[in-house]
Amino acid sequence: MSTTSFASATLDRREVVAQLIQRVPNVLAVAGLGSSTYDLFAAGDRDRNFYLWGAMGGATMIGLGLALAQPQESVVVLTGDGEQLMGLGALATVGAQQPPNLTIVVLDNGHFGETGMQQSHTHLGTDLTAVAKACSIANAFRVQEASGLDAVVQAIQSRQGPSLAQILVKADDLPRALPSRDGVYIKNRVRQSLGLPTF
């Protein structure tokens, strides 16, 4: 991926996430470390949101676990390029398991937003879409325009995944929108939304 791709990125990450949740309001959404969690919370707090405050690189694996445990549900992972780069092995595991109900959405601004906005590997040439395809995630694609969100919604609704959407977003430093940091509360809230006992 060239630097030019990021220089021409026009999508606002908050708007992208808000539109996705509005269009598929019943999904189980796992948000990765930092900005992805802020984006999901800013789109509206819901019982079916699972926010990660740490465990960098773990969002896709948590989403995979949910997708396998709840095959009747559509599961969406919202993560950034930095976190997904740290968890590349997760893509291989997703490819091996082939959960039809899992969609990974990488909000890719080409920067490590949580550590000072240094250029990330995607900005420097790593192609996450190609990596996902090499890991047997056949429906891996890049989105650079708002019209491309239709393909993301289709991937979520069709449940013929796994799918990965690499969405190029502007490298903006947006205000933080902070959900609860109480992990037990967040976990139990999701479990209650699924009709499962809490503990």
What's the farthest any 2 CA atoms get from each other in the chain?
50
| Cβ–Cβ under 8 Å, residues 26 and 70 | no
Distance (Å, rounded) from C-alpha 42 to C-alpha 4? 29
Within-domain flag for 199 = no
Within-domain flag for 142 = yes
Q: Residues 115-161: pLDDT tens digits?
A: 655 666 565 567 999 999 999 999 999 998 888 899 999 999 999 88
**By residue range, what is the domain housing residue 188?**
3-193
> Which pLDDT score is estimated for 4?
45
CA dihedral 29, 33, 34, 35 (to 10 degrees): -50
Q: Residues 181-194: pLDDT tens digits?
A: 888 999 999 999 99
Domain containing 81 — which CATH number? 3.40.50.970
**How far is residue 15 from each of residues 18, 40, 69, 146, 158, measured CA to CA in Å?**
5, 10, 30, 10, 23
Distance (Å, rounded) from C-alpha 120 to C-alpha 171? 11
Within-domain flag for 99 = yes
Phi, psi of 81 (to 5 degrees): -65, -40
Within-domain flag for 124 = yes
Tokens standing for residue 39: 């984006």
Average pLDDT for 91-111:
92
Domain count, the chain: 1
Bridge partner list, 102: 75
Within-domain flag for 146 = yes
Tokens standing for residue 197: 């006992």
Q: Residues 32-87: pLDDT tens digits?
A: 988 889 999 999 999 999 998 777 788 999 999 999 999 999 999 999 888 888 88
Within-domain flag for 198 = no
Query: Rg for the chain (alpha carbons), in Å?
Result: 15
> Which pLDDT score is estimated for 166?
94
> Which pLDDT score is estimated for 3?
45
- pLDDT at residue 107 greater than cutoff 80: yes
